[in-house]
Amino acid sequence: METAVPIQLTAPRATPASRRRMLKEKLIAAGITAVGFTGIAAIVLILVFVAKEALPLLLDPDARHEASFAKMFLPQVVREGRPATFMWQPVSDIPKVSMIPLFVGTLKVTAVSMLLAVPLGIAGALFASEFAPRRLREFIKPTVELLAGIPSVVLGFFALMVLATPMQELFGFTYRLNAVVAGVGLALAIVPVIFTVAEDALTAVPRSYREASLALGATQWETAWKVVLPAAAPGILAACVLGLGRAIGETMIVLMASGNAAIVSPAFGDSVRSLSATIAAEMGEVVVGSPHYSLLFFIGVELFLFTFVLNMVASLWTRRMVGRLSGKVA
Amino acid sequence: MKKLVSLLFAVLLPTSALAADKALTVKGSDTMVILVQRWAEEYMKKNPDSRLQVTGGGTGTGLAALINGTTEIAAASRPMKDAEKQKLRARFNTLGQEFAVAKDGVTFYVNAKNPVASLTVEQLRSIYLGDVGNWKELGGPDQPIVLYSRENSSGTYVFVKDELLKGQDYAPTAQTLPGTAAVVNAVAKELWGVGYGGAAYAAGIKPLKMKLGEGTEVSADLENVKSGKYPLSRNLFFYTRGRPSPEAKAFIDFCLSPEGQQVVSKVGYFPVK
């Protein structure tokens, strides 16, 4: 919009034809701006709607009693004569609504998948952009990008039916479905995300960097590891954050392959229940307007805030890193 | 072209309106959905101009739909709760009408290779409360028990919670799966697993017998479920808001007829009569 104004000022005497053209241009600019804001409006509206449904947890005395913040985040005595624990069992005479098992579940699955996907994705991107011959590269890239198109329900099915039993035999898990199986399935979904964005970042590093490094006598490996990778660091970081966001929010794979038992334990071989899978599993049946219903929306708000904060921190970090790197170069 | 379109409309509109008019909806229990579908097929074969629409979603969903007025008949694998009856009375000033249409035994399954063949109700309760965590304590080998349960939206989940656990909570280690078929599949693959579901699904794994006392074991078969000797047997219900409409009544009568009850046995449940 602002760019349109000086153009108008610099045209001293507009003919009707040029005025019409300017009007047209203005309209187009306004249209594009409106489209741009539609996206933002959609996000804001989604957050408002989701938060509105979660609001009774703060306002309604019944809901506040059934699912107070103390009950959500502090250990509770769920059976007489037992120590206080964290328990998620919202359908019950006295609902148990601790969020802690769900946090632990999401954390475990995300950790497993990131531990696998980050090294794999970045190493693959480094190979494709720096070492692979051109023909091979032109084969690898579309293939991995094709992997990104596999529906998550198919990956979940694969983890559930194909991966789970051999992995149980290999690692001796008590539970056939657990955080590791779900994490591996999830890694299949986020490797392509990380690979694609990281590869773009690596390819975007100017050729002059590589030529300068090689001219100074560095080997190809030294060039890749010490020059190209640091120069692409902001982009690679963005790739990891995108992958992390996908991992936290991904539902179907985790729902199918994690067993969905809300256990609080440090063991990765235990079954887990994640935040997103809880919403998916329970939303279909819940009585609209009940505390349980508000609780599920509250989980949605939490997920939203997690990814929002994560993206913000990452973009700040990326900006700072770009500044530092370009400062060093100049 | 215009003529063709208007002709299409003329043909399509009245029939679709007619179909929507006469469609009798049955919504509810996932346990019952196959049974109700079979009934509907047989019924529509006999009454070609009747239209039935059968959907699952769970007992809770079905009863909610009944209360909201969006279904004519609700299929339920548990009796209606007082809270639900209150809601129905507030909306429609009726208490609903209940029809027991079939019987079902909630069966507990273990893997076919598990040597344990029968358990008492108390043993099962302590397994699902998480007090007993090893097959050793039940006369089996020294292996941890892997618990399978249903999602909390399922009628079977609530039934087991009420009848077996007496309203107490499932052990947090119980894994929740989205359907009885998923439970059966999981137990078939998990050597030391235990799960539960309707008797109709119990194929390919070993159903546990219920130990009642010294030397008496009952399996969830026709005789024991019908007589109520099997401890975890239940009625499967149809609910209508008030007195059923003529179409609904005709369908329910068909379900309760000898022919309808034969369908019940064929699907794998137990007849009420």
Residue B83 has pLDDT above 80, yes or no: yes
CA distances from A87 to A177, A254, B123, B164, B205 (A): 20, 19, 23, 20, 31
Helix (H) or strand (E) holding B57: none
- 8 A C-beta contact, residue B109 and residue B208: yes
Are B92 and B134 contained in the same domain?
Answer: no
Pick from A260, A264, A287: which is nearest to B176 by CB? A260
Residue B151 has pLDDT above 90, yes or no: no
Pick from A176, A261, A284: which is nearest to B172 by CB? A261
A55 Cα to chain B: minimum distance (Å): 23
Per-residue pLDDT reduced to its tens digit, B183-226: 888 888 888 999 998 765 556 688 888 888 777 888 877 788 87
Residue B14 has pLDDT above 80, yes or no: no
Nearest to B83 by CA among A68, A95, A90, A290: A290
B81 Cα to chain A: minimum distance (Å): 12
Are B149 and B248 contained in the same domain?
Answer: no
Residue B230 has pLDDT above 80, yes or no: yes
> How many domains is chain B built from?
2
- Nearest-5° Cα angle at B182, B177 to B184: 120
Give the tokens for residue A31.
Answer: 């249209």
A-B C-beta contacts closer than 8 Å: 78
In a domain, B184, yes or no: yes
Are B69 and B140 contained in the same domain?
Answer: no
Per-residue pLDDT reduced to its tens digit, A97-110: 889 999 999 999 99
Contact state of A282 with B168 under an 8 Å Cβ cutoff: no
In a domain, B15, yes or no: no
- Is the CB of B176 inside 8 Å of chain A's CB atoms? yes
Chain A residues contacting B via beta carbons under 8 Å: 78-79, 85, 87-93, 96, 101, 164-165, 174-177, 255, 259-264, 270-271, 273, 281-282, 284-287
A 10 A CB-CB count for B46 gives 11
More confident: B121 or B154: B121
Q: Can you tell me the distance from the alpha carbon of A99 to that of A296, in angstroms, rounded to the nearest whole number?
A: 11
Chain B: residue whose CA lies nearest to A95? B169
- 8 A C-beta contact, residue A54 and residue A300: yes
Q: Could you say which residues of chain A have pLDDT below 70? A: 1-13, 285, 325-330
Are B202 and B135 contained in the same domain?
Answer: yes
In a domain, B10, yes or no: no
Q: Phi-psi bin for B215: left (phi > 0), alpha (psi -120 to 50), beta?
A: left
Whole-number pLDDT of residue B147: 92
Q: Can you tell me the distance from the alpha carbon of B156 to that of A254, in angstroms, rounded to the nearest whole number?
A: 23
Are B122 and B208 contained in the same domain?
Answer: yes
In a domain, B31, yes or no: yes
Whole-number pLDDT of residue A11: 53
In a domain, B114, yes or no: yes
More confident: B47 or B204: B47
Nearest to B120 by CA among B17, B216, B212: B212
Contact state of A177 with B175 under an 8 Å Cβ cutoff: yes
Q: Which domain holds residue B201?
A: 107-219
Count of positions (residues) in chain A: 330
Whole-number pLDDT of residue B60: 83
A206 Cα to chain B: minimum distance (Å): 52
A77 Cα to chain B: minimum distance (Å): 12
Whole-number pLDDT of residue A186: 94
Question: Do β-strands B97-110 and B206-207 pair in parallel, antiparallel, or remain unpaired?
Answer: antiparallel
Q: Domains of chain A by range and CATH? A: 99-282 (1.10.3720.10)
Residue B10 has pLDDT above 90, yes or no: no
Residue B5 has pLDDT above 70, yes or no: no
Are B208 and B111 contained in the same domain?
Answer: yes
Whole-number pLDDT of residue B73: 93
Question: A263 contacts in B (CB within 8 Å)?
Answer: 172-173
In a domain, B4, yes or no: no
Contact state of B146 with A273 under an 8 Å Cβ cutoff: no
Amino acid identity, residue A249? G
Q: Can you tell me the distance from the alpha carbon of A179 to that of A194, in angstroms, rounded to the nearest whole number?
A: 21
In a domain, B18, yes or no: no
Contact state of A287 with B64 under an 8 Å Cβ cutoff: yes
Are B113 and B194 contained in the same domain?
Answer: yes
Across chain B, mean pLDDT equals 83
For residue B85, what is the domain's CATH number? 3.40.190.10
Pick from B146, B168, B169: which is nearest to A175 by CB? B146
Whole-number pLDDT of residue B240: 93
- Is the CB of B65 inside 8 Å of chain A's CB atoms? no
> Predicted ipTM?
0.75
pTM (2 d.p.): 0.75
